[in-house]
Structure 1
Amino acid sequence: MQLDKLLRVAKWEVTKNAGGVDKRTIVVMALSLVAMGAVAAIAVSGGTGAGMDDGIYRIGVDDDSPYYGVAADDSTFDIREPDPAAIERRQQELLYRGIRLQNVPQTAKERAALTELRDSTAQYNDRTLARDDNQTAAFPVSVTLVYEQQSGSSQLDPRSGDSSDGSGSSDGGTSVADEGETSASSGSDSDTSGSTGTGDGSSDDSDGSNGDSSATGDESDSSGSSQETVDSNVSTSDSVASGGGDGGTAGGSGANLGAIGARLTGDVQGGTPSDISPPFPFESLVLAFLYIVPMNFVIQAYGSSMLSERLNRRGELLLVTPASRGDIIGGKTLPYLAGAVGVAALITAALRFGNIAPAGSYVAVLAVVPLVVLFLSATFCGAMFARSFKELTFVTVTITVTLTSYAFVPAIFTDVTPIALISPLTLVVLDLTGQSVGLSSFVFSTTPPLLTGLVLFGLGAGLYREEDMFTQRPIPLKVLDALAGGINSRRSALKMSIVLLPLVIVAELAAIAFLFVLDSVSLNVFGTNQSLGIVLVLGVIVVIEELAKSLHVYAGYEHARYDRTLRSALGTGALSGLGFFIGEKGLLIARLSDLESLPIGEAALQGATLPAGLPLWVAGLLFLLPLALHTVTAAISSVGASRGRRAYVAALTVAIVVHFAYNFTVVSTLV
């Protein structure tokens, strides 16, 4: 590539094709940008504004009732004058006189209104106590949650004391979690008798079944808490007011997105017992969504531009220029790459300076680059394969769904499992939330999609020539043309198996991410008790690997690059298997993550890694057996490919069965 020629092509792409996007696409893009801006505005404003559930519950309550402030702070309630007749006419759901509930909820809506009032009361108490100066007295109990892997060792919070006695921690008694269990201790230097916001379900003034309750204020001077709180005994169980204090939020070792979650949902974040709940990656979903959506619009414009070069034969003019194929493809891709990365940078800056994610930095932008390359390269291949804009639409939709799933699904488990590191978007979420991103994690997340993108650009570039660009062939035949472009001799089978390994790695990692949730489902297969997730992952991986070893061999036979003799077929298959065995060691990149700590990850990576603690001769045998396996199965497929399409499909099926039987036996024995 020559930089001056590349930039000249990029300038031509921007100036000549600026009007190539139709008006409908421009309108859709504009509306999407407006929608994303609205979401960002809501996030910045803390989630305030009109909601779909505003005023759906009508409550009759006096101005002097303790519950008036609760209802006034919750837009779900429509406050009205207390009217028993309105209750009879079903024009009010709840009726309060002072502190007592006057009606017994009978309908589903009335019961839902009472439940909502209970939750609102607890949140009202949280906010009230959080404004108190003496937080230790307001929140005498704090909790620290440590989420542990099932097979992992406990790593306690460094602020915690000795876990054997459950006490001795600072900040009003921080609890210590051991193997997923949580304990709490009250502060040794604070008098909790004055702390309010708790309800007594056995109070004389309360009927728990009807929701009647008595309000309690702060009547003690010993705690220093002077703000009035409403009794949260609207519910039938005792509760402890929460929402502040020194305890902080529960986070474990994953990304703690509580601050952003508070802005987006309005929830009060705290470290008190009432805040204990399983982690839900809602915030990760929102952040990942903001980065994925713009890419879909960029690839639409990019794919349309590339296909126009073929259908309108505009690319013929570039092919006769002194610029190389690399200069042309790089120059036409550069504006879209820069645009997508620029949008990611703007999103990161908006989140940072909008005080939504103040920790956002260049790491988030760098993590998006491999995804942009992957999206653009897949679209480039799709534009080279498609015969019309209608066909390109289906290809683009397939690319969008597939790659969005690969990038999006793992990222939503940022707080839960190392599976999340499969997607570079996880690095974005970690960076925006102030979590440190290690070099090994960055390399593991970004290298596979980046290399895959380069491979796809290489395959598409093989078709960027006059004899292929302007011919109309079905997509499957175009795929074979792209694969055959890199085949010159029988030794090319070894090279192609290595070159295609990044595609294999990305596909296998995606399979692990999609199927790991089934790891807890047991399945009795051939007398072994394996999980459904492991069985499915093994099946998917076998299909991916056998296709990667044999499809380019079949393409070579279809384009008469190999001799159709048994000896040639066996030799070509053996070289393909050897190349795959060498390239398969690229899966060792998984050691940069904790995937092997999961049973499904260990099963999926057993071909490239060896279990620890094995005798030397066993380790050597397990190292050589995969070589024999890949050589034999690739030779089987190669023999079938030399006989034609139907024979190739039959031979490929046999190779898949043999490969699966080997993998399942090894996993059942060693994993």
Structure 2
Amino acid sequence: MSFASSIRTIATWEISQSMTTMGRHVLPLAAGLLVLLVLATAFAAQSGVHMQDGIYRIGIDDPDVARIVAQDNRFTAYLDAGPALRENRFAYDLIVLDGEIYAADTEKGRAALTALERDYEAYVSYVAAKEPDLFAAYPLWIDLEYVKSELDFQTTQSGQRVGTPPDSRVPPAPSGPVEAATLPPSAMPVSEDDLREQLTGTESDNPLARYTGIFSEGGGEDRLQTPAELSPPLPLDSIVLIFVFIFPLYFTSQFFMMSVMNERVGRAGEALLSTPIRPSAIIIGKGLPYFTVMLLIAAAITLFVGAPLAILIPLIPVVLFFLASALIIGMAARSFKELSFISIFFSTLATSYLFFPTVFANTHVISIISPLTLVILELQGEGFTAMEYVYSTALFFATSAILFYVGTVNFREERLFSENSLVSRFTDFIADMIGRDHPYVSLFLLAVFTIPFVFMAQMMTLVLFFNIPMPISLILLIVFAAFIEEFAKSLGIYAIARERPGFLTAKNLLAGAVAIGFGFLVGEKLLLFATLAQITESTFGSILFLSLQVLWMPLLLHIAGVLITGTFLLLWGRRAYVPGLVAASVVHSLYNLYFITGALG
């Protein structure tokens, strides 16, 4: 039987198995959940987000003041006399008496006061827009154009100064030619009535758009705003829409995970392993139906919402990553309880990695690390370039290929039906990749293969710490980036120490550390230069990927880190692995800190 025939046979068998074992109860439920998700999203897009409705209670003694907050759904307003409000003051977050505002001394009270301040600012702007002389109310008009932050920090990475530091003893003096500025026209290019209409909005505008600018529908996006109402152009509407794509894709991948788990628990996989079909054909055949269904679901949603079909292209690596992860989780978990725990943990990390960067799709280059950013750009009509596609999807393609390879290598009876602990099973997976005849070559290749996962984990920390104030965010990023690298580099040494303790000698440790160091350096620089150049042009990217010009220093660092962890294992056994990992991470963090203070100081 040919390879293609084997895949077709396994795929047909997988479809029949899924329909008989899960189709009667699970598939109708899944279809119902998908329909409910689409309907709920459509309802949210039409009526707005109402999670904050009625969260603040405000007591007011003046009907005119009550009308100011009546349009804000966050407030539940009560109109009452002054004595009654004073008597029941603890029942309210805010009280307005005789033009004075009293807020409860709680976090909720202070938040309600901030919300009321924004409502009053919007009310003042509304009153000013109704004045007969609009230009007297608004004498200055500014046209804003948002530009992505794409600063080039390559100079600071090499330790060079961008410019000469100013001398505080001498006042600065202008230099170079000075060009005369062209005066703007004295008359506005649009009519006063059009400006007034855009300032005041319409009755159908969402209150959240007027007061906070965080949600827009209809023509609210083009309405003019005062400086107090300005906010970054966050694509929350598009993020809600792409959630409709990702949820069913991840949900469908769970069926693939359950299929692998069912064959292990029921030992039905023994029949597959006894056939002359290669493990790669079995895995491809089992995953192909789910891959097809996921693409069909995404295409159907795309056509339903009227989005361009080009958004399917960035979703393909996400689909492959979900399926590859489902395969490994299904092969590693020992029970459905353990399967649920691992899958929920994985979904949390994957969702965070995919969705958090998309918030900055219109403001910062860091958003490009998520393929969903490309979906947002396509939905907004901006599109994406081939290089941006490579930047966003290279890690997903690479990690998917490696996970499928690991699953193929370990798709045999002693791995599928083992009852070892979760950590032991993952260690066995890694140990199988280290050949006994050529261990150093295996360690070199293993270090290369871990690079996409290291970069993905470091990008995840970059997303998590992006909004934390500096320098705390940089310190956290330094520590976590170092720990992730040292953990990845030590996996091969730990697997050897666990499976083949006699191999771990001082001589072999040194040779293995050199092999891992070279492998990590080669994989790191190749992937960095090939795909992540744009990310390294930001401040946070320069923290993650230092010393691009000096290769011998990171090589020594990689070798030293493995030697530190390996020495702890060699002297005190596996129980010293964590202390050794911490020690190596401390050395790595100090190295990064030294270069950062020299480059950014």
Contact kept, 8 Å, 2:147 with 2:363, in 1: the verdict is no
Contact 2:129 2:199 in 1 (8 A): no
**C-alpha distance 118-301 of structure 1, shift in aligned 2 (>3 A):** same
Who is 2:187 aligned against? Answer: 187
Which residue number corresponds to residue 363 of structure 1?
310
Q: Are 1:509 and 2:456 counterparts?
A: no
TM superposition shift of 1:550: 1.4
Query: What corresponds to 2:12 in structure 1?
Result: 11
Match of 1:581 among 512, 521, 524: 521
Q: Offset of 1:276 from its aligned partner?
A: 5.3
- Taking the aligned partners of 1:338 and 1:303, their CA distance within structure 2 comes to 16
| Match runs of 1:556-575 below 5 Å | 556-560=496-500, 563-575=503-515
| Higher share of residues assigned helix | 2
Q: Give the match's secondary structure for 2:19.
A: coil
1:421, 1:427 within 8 Å by CA — same for their partners in 2?
yes
Separation (CA, whole Å) in 2 of partners of 1:6 and 1:384? 20
Determine the C-alpha separation between the residues in 1 that align with 2:51 and 2:508. 72
Does the alignment pair 1:340 with 2:294?
yes
Please tell me whether residue 537 in structure 1 is matched to residue 477 in structure 2: yes
Assess if the C-alpha contact under 8 Å between 1:587 and 1:605 holds in 2. Answer: no
How do residues 542-621 of structure 1 correspond to structure 2 at under 5 angstroms?
542-560=482-500, 563-589=503-529, 594-607=534-547, 609-610=548-549
CA contact (8 A) 1:581 1:626 kept: yes
- Seen in structure 2, the aligned counterparts of structure 1 residues 417 and 51 have a Cα distance that, compared at 3 Å, is closer
The structure-2 alpha-carbon separation of the partners of 1:23 and 1:645, relative to structure 1 and needing over 3 Å to count, comes to farther
**In the alignment, is residue 634 of structure 1 matched against residue 587 of structure 2?**
no
| Residue 199 (structure 2) aligned to one of 241, 250, 257 | 241
Letter in 2 for 1:13: E
Are 1:278 and 2:231 counterparts? Answer: yes
Partner deviation per Cα, 1:376-435 (whole Å, 9 max, x = no partner): 212211111111111111011111111111111111221221111111111111111111
Contact 2:11/2:289 (CA < 8 Å) preserved in 1?
yes
What corresponds to 2:580 in structure 1? Answer: 651
* CA-to-aligned-CA distance 1:119-141 (integer Å, 9 cap, x gap): 99799999999xxxxxx9xx998
Deviations 1:144-196 (A, max 9, x none): 2134567849xxxxxxxx99747447xxxxxxxxxxxxxxxx635667xxx4x
State the SS of the aligned residue for 2:518.
helix
Partner of 1:100: none
- Please state how far the C-alpha of 1:659 moved relative to its aligned partner: 1.8
Query: Contact 2:371/2:393 (CA < 8 Å) preserved in 1?
Result: yes
The 10-residue stretch of structure 1 (555-564 or 318-327) with the greater mean CA deviation from structure 2: 555-564
**Partner amino acid for 1:187?**
A
* Cα distance, 1:310–1:150 mapped onto 2, change above 3 Å: closer
Of 366, 370, 391 in structure 2, the residue corresponding to residue 423 of structure 1 is: 370
Measured in 2, the distance between the counterparts of 1:126 and 1:306 equals 66
Shift of 1:578: 1.1
Query: In the alignment, which of 324, 343, 362 is matched to residue 396 of structure 1?
Result: 343
Normalising by structure 2, what TM-score?
A: 0.76
Say which SS state the counterpart of residue 145 (structure 2) adopts: coil
Alpha-carbon distance change, 163 to 52 in structure 1, aligned in 2, over 3 angstroms: farther
- Aligned equivalents of 1:376, 1:271: Cα separation in 2: 46
Q: Which residue number in structure 1 is paired with residue 167 of structure 2?
A: none
Equivalence for 2:109: none
Alignment of 1:34-45 (within 5 A): 34-42=35-43, 45=46
Equivalent AA in structure 2 for residue 645 of structure 1: R
Paired AA for residue 466 in structure 2: F
Q: 1:164 to 1:292 in 2, by over 3 A?
A: farther
1:61-105 Cα deviation digits (max 9, x unpaired):
xxxx9x99x999999999xxxxx9999999xxxxxxxxxxxx979
| CA drift at 1:242 | 4.9
Where does residue 183 of structure 1 map in the other structure? none
Cα distance in structure 2, aligned partners of 1:555 and 1:588? 27
- Provide the C-alpha distance between the structure 2 equivalents of 1:363 and 1:241, rounded to a whole number of angstroms: 36
Match of 2:262 in 1: 308
Residue in 2 that maps onto 1:145: 144
Which of these two proteins has the greater Rg computed from alpha carbons?
A: 1
Give the TM-score normalised by the residue count of structure 1: 0.68
Q: CA deviation at 1:364?
A: 1.4
Residues 120-159 of structure 1: pairs in structure 2 closer than 5 A = 143-148=142-147, 152=151
* Structure 1 contact 242–275 (Cα < 8 Å) conserved: no
- Please give the alpha-carbon distance, in whole angstroms, between the structure 2 residues aligned to 1:71 and 1:651: 60
Deviations 1:534-583 (A, max 9, x none): 22111111111112111122212322297232211211121111111111
Q: Distance in 2 between matches of 1:294 and 1:163?
A: 57
> Retained in 2: the 8 A contact 1:427–1:437?
yes
* Aligned partner letter, 1:595: I
The 1:483/1:269 distance shift into structure 2, 3 A limit, reads same
Cα RMSD for the two superposed structures: 4.6
CA change 1:45–1:461 in 2 (3 A) is same
Q: Is the 8 A contact 1:141 1:187 kept in 2?
A: no
Report matched runs for 1:464-479 at 5 Å.
464-479=411-426
* Corresponding residue of 2:164: none
Distance 1:584 1:50 in 2: 44
- Please tell me the residue identity of whatever aligns with 2:222: Q
What's the CA shift for 1:486? 1.2
Which of 23-32 and 505-514 deviates more? 23-32
**Where do 1:68-87 residues align within 5 Å?**
none
| Percent of paired sites with the same residue | 27
Work out the CA distance in 1 between the residues paired with 2:302 and 2:214: 14
Q: CA separation in 2, counterparts of 1:629 and 1:72?
A: 62
2:150 and 2:401 map into 1 onto residues whose CA distance is 37
Please tell me the residue identity of whatever aligns with 2:553: L
**Displacement after TM superposition at 1:32 (Å):** 3.2
Cα–Cα, structure 1 residues 6 and 365, in superposed 2: closer, same or farther, change >3 Å?
same
- Structure having greater relative contact order (Cα 8 Å, sep ≥ 6): 2
Alpha-carbon distance in 2 for matches of 1:446, 1:539: 26
Residues 93-242 of structure 1: pairs in structure 2 closer than 5 A = 143-148=142-147, 152=151, 165=181, 167-168=183-184, 187-188=187-188, 195=192, 241-242=199-200
Q: Is the 8 A contact 1:310 1:470 kept in 2?
A: yes
**How much has 1:27 moved relative to structure 2?**
6.9
- Between stretches 583-592 and 291-300, larger displacement belongs to 583-592
The 8 Å contact of residues 440 and 593 in structure 1, kept in 2 or not, is answered as no
> Which residue identity lines up with residue 478 of structure 1 in the other structure?
R
Aligned equivalents of 2:83, 2:10: Cα separation in 1? 76
Show the counterpart of 1:435: 382
The offset of 1:343, in angstroms, is: 2.1
Per-residue CA deviations over 1:588-644 (Å, capped at 9, x if unaligned) read: 24765543333221111114x23xxxxxxxxxxx22111122122223333444453
- 277-286 vs 140-149, which deviates more? 140-149
Q: How many Å apart are 1:648 and its aligned residue?
A: 3.3
**Count of residue pairs brought into register by the alignment:** 539
Which residue in 2 is equivalent to 1:661? 590
Q: State the AA in 1 paired with 2:512.
A: T
Name the residue aligned to 2:89: none
8 Å contact kept, 2:477–2:544: yes
Per-residue deviation, 1:472:
0.6
Query: Is the Cα–Cα contact under 8 Å of residues 378 and 456 in structure 1 kept in the other structure?
Result: yes
1:310 CA drift (Å): 0.6
2:514, 2:559 within 8 Å by CA — same for their partners in 1? Answer: yes
Looking at structure 1, the residues matched to 505 and 74 of structure 2 have their Cα atoms a distance apart, in angstroms, of 77
Per-residue CA deviation, residues 447-496 of structure 1 (Å, 9 max, x unaligned), is 10111111112222232101111111100000111001111122211111
1:328 to 273, 277, 282: 282
Structure-1 separation of matches of 2:179 and 2:247 = 46
Task: For residue 299 of structure 1, report the CA deviation from its aligned partner.
Answer: 2.8
